[in-house]
Chains A and B, each alone.
Chain A
Amino acid sequence: MEAKKLKKSNIILIVVASVLAIALIAFVVMYSVSMNTQQKLQTDLDNIYQRNFNELVDNVNNSQIKLSKVCVSDYDTYAKKMLNEISTNTTCAAINLSALPISINGIDDTIKFVNQVSGYTKTLANKLDKGESLTSTEISTLESLNNAFIELKNELNKLIKEVKNGDIYDQSLKLNGDYNAFTIKLQNVKAGDVEYPTMIYDGPFSDSVVNQKIKNMNFTKVSKDVAKQSLLNILKNTSVAECEYLGDTDGRFETYDYKIVNDNQNAIYVQVSKNGAKLLTMSAGDYDNTQNYTLGQAKQIAIDFTKLAGISDVECVWSDVVGGDAYLNLAPVKSGIILYPDLVKVKVDLATGMVAGFEASSYYTNHIQRNIKNATISQSQAEQMIPSSLTIKTTKLALAPLEYNREVLCYEMMCTKNDGTYYVYVNAYSGVLENILKIVESDNGNLLM
């Protein structure tokens, strides 16, 4: 009996030991497979980081060498070539920087500096292209940029030796609060002796473009109760069941924010300016694709609503229907000239005929009394600028917004070709072709590109 019991327990032990051994082997195999996969993924990722970091250093090195060449060059043609190349190098450097595993709050100053150098050098190259020369201030800014780039280059070249052995991935994972080791290393590069000079220009990424001044908000500040009353007047044709004050927004515009609930229990979010209680933004989620109203009716609804909001001098200049909504752009038209910088955008729900969206920040940013000089070239002269492959359908005078907050009087010609519709803008003073926009049809409506 005792021997039988012992034999049974031995069998159990053997079974357990075998199962354990098999499980151990299985684990080792699975672990090694997974470690190999992990190792491969880590290496792949680190290779991408290494490539970006090496390209970053190359682009900074090249930018610095070219900056030093611009500083000693007396020839505008050569300087223009170098400035264009610096702009390309720095654009690429910004792309490389933003592909590295860095906390976004870590090196935003460096990305900003690199992007601004790209915008600044491009603006100077364009200036030389127009036959103008660089001023002494611009040349001294380029010299400061060169000095900053020498420091940046030296620091980055030191760092590249440290991360050469493929450990950007490792340094990116170990987080210490908001930062990882790699971010701190790059921050030290910036914190070294690199002092970024200020660049004053009207081009891409300049502060003056980003912080665009609001020209049409010189109204008296009102209380939130006055603003609410003014809002309810604007919404007198909407069935308002509830109007709740949500708080303030103190961004580029200062606003009181409200949530309106209509009789259908749909929520509409509204922002009213603290100055003058002007309706700035209104938006409502809308998923109904029914169309009970026509586009023509929607245009009238949009114009009537905009009048209620205190803007009475606008006409519909662009419309599109997507799903159950009509998107309408309204602009003031003065003496036959469409003022595109002052657009008011309205969205009308075609199921209910209600305004589901309203945006007037461009109107209040730009709409002022302008003294637009008469066109110096005629409509027929402008039409001669159009390539023969395009057929002109309509020609209108329009104040067109150009890059970097510039605006210029243009002839706007809607043209067609086999592959679609184009809007061509010809400068009404110089006859220069300023811009061509093409209507691109997509699943999400027509886009002007």
Chain B
Amino acid sequence: MTKRKIIVLVLLALTIFCCLSITMVESFVPTNSVSVYALTTTQNKQVQQKLKTLGYYKGAIDGIIGNQSKTAIRNFQRDYGLVVDGIVGPKTLKALGLSTSTNSLSSADIDLLAKCVYAEARGEPYTGQVAVAAVVLNRVKSASFPNTISGVIYQPYAFTSVNDGQIKLSPNQSAYNAAKDAMNGWDPTYGCLYYYNPATATSKWIWSRTVVVKIGKHSFAK
């Protein structure tokens, strides 16, 4: 009985040991980007146009991927030996002869800003999303921060979502709209440089800033 107990204990220790070692290895290896994929309306229209030309789609070219579009995508994927999931990812785009890359610098800036908005404020009301984008742009204009959108977003310790890799998520249309609205000059915070969630903020310093406005869960401060 005692020996059995020893064996059980040893096996238990072994299991914990193995689990720990696997966990440690995983924690040391950098995680890959999250494989969520979304297209802009213009790209959706290009997909619909291409599917229509190829005879898979008979609906309107409206940029909205509804049931008719999804069926067309699935049929196309089946015929071209792709994974049949109804989602237009990089492989399906490539098979359709469409490119995912954009050449314009400003378009890359909007993409990055939209990624930041999505990662930081995807559960927030629309104005809160515009406000987050506006804070990034206010920092670009401010002397106390880097002078480019990528400089501000990738500044070490500036955004939690950059530190934990959520910035790699693909933004939705709402985040793109918010980024574009902010670039168009809409700033619901009127010049704020900081924001935080009072329920989760760990920084003591941030509480010393003057709060200008609260939108959704975020307090925006000067």
Contact = CB atoms under 8 A, between A and B. Distances in A.
A447 B156 CA distance: 30
A104 B135 CA distance: 14
Given A253-B190, A347-B181, A283 B130 contact: yes
A251 B110 CA distance: 25
A362 B110 CA distance: 22
Give the interface residue-count category, chain B. 35 or more
A12 interface: yes
Contacts of B213: 247-251, 257
Given A253-B190, A269-B126, A287-B177, A105 B156 contact: no
Contacts of A112: 142-144
A359 interface: yes
A239 interface: no
Contacts of B33: none
Interface stretch (A33-41, A392-400, A408-416, A429-437): A33-41
Nearest to A22: B14
Interface stretch (A134-142, A304-312, A438-446): A438-446
Contacts of A444: 40, 107, 110, 176, 180
Contact of B3 (A9, A101, A109, A445): A9
B190 A95 contact: no
Contacts of B24: 30-31, 34
B70 interface: no
Nearest to A251: B190
B157 A103 contact: yes
A160 interface: no
A297 interface: no
Given A251-B213, A287-B174, A359 B106 contact: no
B143 A205 contact: yes
Contacts of A80: none
Given A178-B204, A251-B189, A283-B126, A98 B106 contact: no
Interface residues of A, number: 79
A269 B188 CA distance: 9
A249 B104 contact: no
A177 B204 contact: yes
A373 B41 CA distance: 46
Given A102-B156, A248-B213, A290 B62 contact: yes
Nearest to A325: B177
Candidate in B143, B181, B212, B214 with the most chain A CB atoms within 10 angstroms: B143
A271 B188 contact: yes
Candidate in A20, A101, A250, A323 with the most chain B CB atoms within 10 angstroms: A323
Contacts of B145: 98, 104, 108, 111
Interface in B157-192: 157-158, 173-174, 176-178, 180-181, 184-192
A188 interface: no
Contacts of A109: 144
Interface in B207-222: 210, 212-215, 222
Interface string B1-40: 0010001001100100110011011001110000000001
A16 B144 contact: no
B106 to A, nearest CB: 5
A96 B64 CA distance: 44
Interface string A90-102: 0100110011111
Given A38-B28, A283-B181, A443-B102, A252 B191 contact: yes
A13 B135 CA distance: 65
Interface string A265-301: 0010101000000000101111101100000000000
B25 A34 contact: yes
A290 B66 CA distance: 13
A441 B42 CA distance: 12
A327 to B, nearest CB: 7
Candidate in B7, B184, B214 with the most chain A CB atoms within 10 angstroms: B184
B92 to A, nearest CB: 18
B189 A249 contact: yes
Interface string B115-131: 00000000001110110
A95 B30 CA distance: 26
A322 B180 contact: yes
Nearest to A362: B185
A376 B206 CA distance: 53
A78 B42 CA distance: 52
A267 B141 contact: no
A72 interface: no
Given A98-B146, A119-B143, A281 B186 contact: yes
Contacts of A449: 106
A243 to B, nearest CB: 15
B144 A108 contact: yes
A345 B186 contact: yes
B59 interface: no
A100 B158 CA distance: 11
Interface string B135-152: 000000111111100010
Candidate in A103, A248, A285, A444 with the most chain B CB atoms within 10 angstroms: A444
A251 B173 contact: no
Nearest to A30: B25
Interface of A: 9, 12, 16, 19-20, 23, 26-27, 30-31, 33-35, 37-38, 41, 91, 94-95, 98-105, 108-109, 111-112, 115-116, 119, 172, 177-178, 205, 210, 246-253, 255, 257, 267, 269, 271, 281, 283-287, 289-290, 322-323, 325, 327, 343, 345, 347, 357, 359, 361-362, 440-445, 447, 449
What 7 A-B pairs are tightest by C-beta distance, nearest first? A251-B190, A285-B126, A205-B143, A269-B127, A249-B213, A442-B107, A108-B144
28 contacts: A16-B7, A20-B10, A30-B25, A31-B25, A34-B24, A41-B30, A94-B147, A95-B147, A100-B156, A101-B157, A104-B157, A105-B205, A177-B204, A205-B142, A210-B141, A210-B143, A267-B125, A267-B126, A281-B186, A283-B130, A287-B173, A323-B41, A323-B173, A345-B185, A357-B186, A359-B185, A440-B104, A442-B104
Given A248-B213, A249-B213, A357-B186, 14 more contacts: A35-B28, A94-B147, A95-B147, A98-B155, A99-B156, A205-B143, A246-B215, A253-B190, A283-B188, A287-B177, A323-B173, A343-B185, A443-B107, A444-B110
